[in-house]
């Protein structure tokens, strides 16, 4: 891609962690101020950027790149949820998000979180 959307509208919040959260995975709110890994078909609140000492920096808005599973997403508005293994997938249920780019060889897609 000849342009970069990195940094566009990024918002990051710190949450406590429950479960095995790792950087790069979609996460969900599981308790007050706490995130945990998503199960298959969960709607995710954001993506963990880093995890340290029981806390995670979670990107909740802006441009992000994520690995995808299953059917290759297409650019435009897609319904997306978590696949349960740390990736995102297009499904009938989930969040309606804007897919801005797809890198098929890398297995990643660019998404604008709202």
The full DSSP string for 47-95 is EEEEEETTEEEEEEEEEEEEEB-SSPP-SEEEEEEE-SSS-EEE-SSSE
Chain centroid, CA 50 distance in Å: 13
- Other CB atoms within a 10 A radius of the CB of residue 37 amount to 22
The pLDDT, as a whole number, for residue 97 is: 97
The pLDDT, as a whole number, for residue 8 is: 86
Are 100 and 111 contacting, i.e. CB atoms less than 8 angstroms apart?
yes
List the chain domain ranges. Answer: 11-62, 64-113
Full pLDDT tens readout for the chain, 114 residues: 687 888 888 999 999 999 999 999 999 999 999 999 999 999 999 999 999 999 999 999 999 999 999 999 999 999 999 999 999 999 999 999 999 999 999 999 999 998
Residue 15: both structure tokens together: 């949450």
């Amino acid at each position: 891609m000849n342009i970069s959307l990195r940094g566009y509208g990024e918002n990051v919040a710190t949450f406590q962690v429950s479960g095995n959260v790792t950087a790069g995975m979609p996460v969900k709110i599981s308790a007050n101020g706490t995130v945990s890994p998503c199960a298959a078909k969960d709607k995710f609140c954001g993506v963990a950027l880093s995890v340290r000492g029981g806390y995670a920096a979670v990107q909740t808005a802006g441009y992000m790149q994520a690995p995808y599973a299953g059917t290759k997403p297409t650019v435009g508005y897609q319904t997306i949820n978590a696949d349960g293994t740390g990736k995102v997938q297009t499904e009938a249920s989930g969040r309606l998000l804007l897919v801005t780019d797809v890198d098929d060889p890398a297995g990643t897609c660019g998404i604008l979180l709202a």
